[in-house]
Structure 1
Amino acid sequence: MPLSRRTFLAGGAAAAAGLTGLTGLTGCGSRSSLGAANELSMWTWVGSVNDDLISQAEKSIPGYDTLKLSMTRIGSNYKTKVLTALAGKSLVPDIVAINDDVATYFPNADQFHDLNELGAKEREADFLPWKWKLGITPQNKMMAYPMDTGPTALFYRSDILAKAGIDIDPAAIAEQAPDWDSYIALAQKIKQAVPGSAITDNINSVFAYRMAQQPKRYMAADGQYIGDQDHVREAFDLAVRVVKDGLSANAQDGSTDSKAVVSNGKLVAFNAAVWWAQLGPKNAAPKTKGNWRVAAPPGGPGNRGGSFLAITKYCKNPQAAFAFISWLESAQNQAQAFLDPVLFPSTPASYTDSRLSAPDEFFGGQQIVDVFAESAKKYPGAFFSPYDSIIGSPLSAELVNIETGGKSPDQAWADAQRQIERELTRAGAI
Structure 2
Amino acid sequence: MPIDRAVRSTTLAVRLGAVVLSGALLAACGGSSDGATTDAAGGDVTITVDLFGSFGYKEAGLYAEYEKLHPGVTIKQTDTEDEADYWKSLQTRLAGGGGLADVQGVEVGRIASVTQQQADKFEDLKKYGADGLKGQFAEAKWAAATGKNGEVLGLGTDVGPEAMCYRKDLFAKAGLPTDREALAKEWGDWDGYLELGKRYKAKAPAKSAWLDSVGSLYSIMIGQEQERYYDASGKLIWEENPALRAAWDHSVKAAADGLSAKLDQWSPQWNQAFSAGSFATMPCPAWMLGYIKGQAGETGKGKWDVAALPGGAGNWGGSYLAVPKAAQHKKEAYELIKWLTAPEQQARLFEKQGNFPSSTGAIEKVATATDPYFSNAPIGKIFGDAAKAAPVQVLGVHDQNIAQQITNALSEVERKGTAPEKAWENARKGVANTLG
Compute the TM-score of the two structures, normalised by the length of structure 1: 0.81
Q: Residue type matched to 1:379 in 2?
A: A
RMSD: 3.0
Q: Residue type matched to 2:79 in 1?
A: I
2:410 to 395, 399, 403: 399
2:114 aligned partner = 105
2:259 aligned partner = 247
Q: Residue type matched to 1:241 in 2?
A: K
The SS at the match of 2:178 is coil
2:221 aligned partner = 210
1:71 aligned partner = 76
Rounded Cα–Cα distance in structure 2 between residues aligned with 1:285 and 1:92: 35
Rounded Cα–Cα distance in structure 2 between residues aligned with 1:250 and 1:317: 46
Q: Residue type matched to 1:50 in 2?
A: Y
- Conservation of the 8 A alpha-carbon contact between 1:150 and 1:306: yes
- Conservation of the 8 A alpha-carbon contact between 1:60 and 1:69: no
The SS at the match of 1:217 is coil
The SS at the match of 1:262 is helix
2:378 to 367, 388, 398: 367
Q: Greater shift after overlay, 72-81 or 209-218? A: 72-81
1:41 to 47, 62, 67: 47
- Deviations along 1:190-231, one digit per CA (max 9) or x if unpaired, are 333336653321121111111111111212343311110222
Count matched residues.
396
The SS at the match of 1:270 is strand
1:151 aligns with 2:161: yes
Rounded Cα–Cα distance in structure 2 between residues aligned with 1:314 and 1:332: 29
1:135 aligns with 2:145: yes
The SS at the match of 1:305 is strand
Q: Greater shift after overlay, 87-96 or 306-315? A: 87-96
2:101 aligned partner = 93
- Conservation of the 8 A alpha-carbon contact between 2:223 and 2:315: yes
The SS at the match of 1:383 is coil
2:426 to 388, 412, 415: 415
Rounded Cα–Cα distance in structure 2 between residues aligned with 1:204 and 1:91: 34
Residues 48 and 260 of structure 1: is their aligned pair in 2 closer, same or farther, counting only changes over 3 Å? closer
1:122 aligned partner = 132
Residue 146 (structure 1) shift: 0.3
Rounded Cα–Cα distance in structure 1 between residues aligned with 2:239 and 2:167: 36
Rounded Cα–Cα distance in structure 2 between residues aligned with 1:74 and 1:379: 29
1:7 aligned partner = 11
Structure 2 unaligned regions, length at least 5: 15-40
- Conservation of the 8 A alpha-carbon contact between 1:282 and 1:289: no
Once the two structures are superposed, the pairs formed by residues 3-402 of structure 1 within 5 Å of their partners are: 4=8, 6-8=10-12, 38-39=44-45, 41-45=47-51, 47-51=54-58, 52-59=61-68, 61=70, 68-75=73-80, 77-90=85-98, 92-100=100-108, 101-106=110-115, 107-194=117-204, 197-229=208-240, 230-253=242-265, 255=267, 257-280=269-292, 282-284=294-296, 286-315=298-327, 318=330, 320-353=332-365, 357-402=368-413
Q: State the percentage of identical aligned residues.
A: 28
Residues 396 and 138 of structure 1: is their aligned pair in 2 closer, same or farther, counting only changes over 3 Å? farther
Q: Residue type matched to 1:102 in 2?
A: I
Residue 316 (structure 1) shift: 6.0
Residues 121 and 238 of structure 1: is their aligned pair in 2 closer, same or farther, counting only changes over 3 Å? same
- Deviations along 1:100-152, one digit per CA (max 9) or x if unpaired, are 32233331111222234433333222222222222123554321110112221
Structure 1 unaligned regions, length at least 5: 11-34
Residues 278 and 91 of structure 1: is their aligned pair in 2 closer, same or farther, counting only changes over 3 Å? closer
The SS at the match of 1:98 is strand
